Structure 1
């Protein structure tokens, strides 16, 4: 995968993490309101659990992409140094 594509995917993954955080916060608010009204929270809690599982996946994907991008940047620097050394030696 090329660096620009990884950067685009990383940007999207960060958006997913932020959106997931908002969903989880909102779902907790819903559960609070339902609990306060002494209503059944089982579906709301199930949905919260799903949101939390998805969030773990979003965070893992974001972290994976960050590591891949860091590796690409380090590799680019090594390649640049090597090419510079070759040019100076040539």
Structure 2
């Protein structure tokens, strides 16, 4: 290993904070808060899209595109929840 490569690797290990530091704790809480906000926002989008689908049916309009969008929102929501849970579980172990 060259001296310059060794110096870079040594410096990079000093930059990364240890998990028990306050910085990592703040980053973890910020990430979990952001992920939870994504899940909540997804719930609001789904609720609103369900209203739109119901309005389309009630007023005799085509609802196929609105239903397709609702399905996409629901699929994305599953991904958001799984991602949040995966990250949350990784911090608990």
- TM-score tier, shorter chain, comes to 0.7 to 0.9
Q: State yes or no: 1:43 paired with 2:65.
A: yes
**Could you say which residue in structure 2 is the equivalent of 1:12?**
34
* Runs of 4+ off more than 6 Å: none
- Equivalent residue number for residue 56 of structure 2: 34
Taking structure 1 as the reference length, what is the TM-score of the superposition?
Answer: 0.73
Residue 68 of structure 1, CA deviation:
1.4
CA distance in 2: counterparts of 1:57 and 1:9, whole angstroms: 16
Once the two structures are superposed, residues 10-54 of structure 1 have per-residue CA deviations (whole angstroms, 9 ceiling, x without a partner) of: 110100000000000000000001000010001101110110011
Could you tell me which runs of 5 or more consecutive residues in structure 2 were left unpaired when the two chains were aligned.
1-18
Higher helix share: 1
State the aligned residue count: 71
Residue of structure 2 in register with 1:83 after alignment:
none
Q: Distance in 1 between matches of 2:25 and 2:33?
A: 12
Is residue 43 of structure 2 the alignment partner of residue 24 of structure 1? no
- How far 1:3 moved relative to its partner? 4.0
Q: 1:6: how far off? A: 2.6
What runs of 5+ residues in structure 1 fail to find an aligned partner? 72-90
Q: Shift of the alpha carbon at 1:66?
A: 1.1
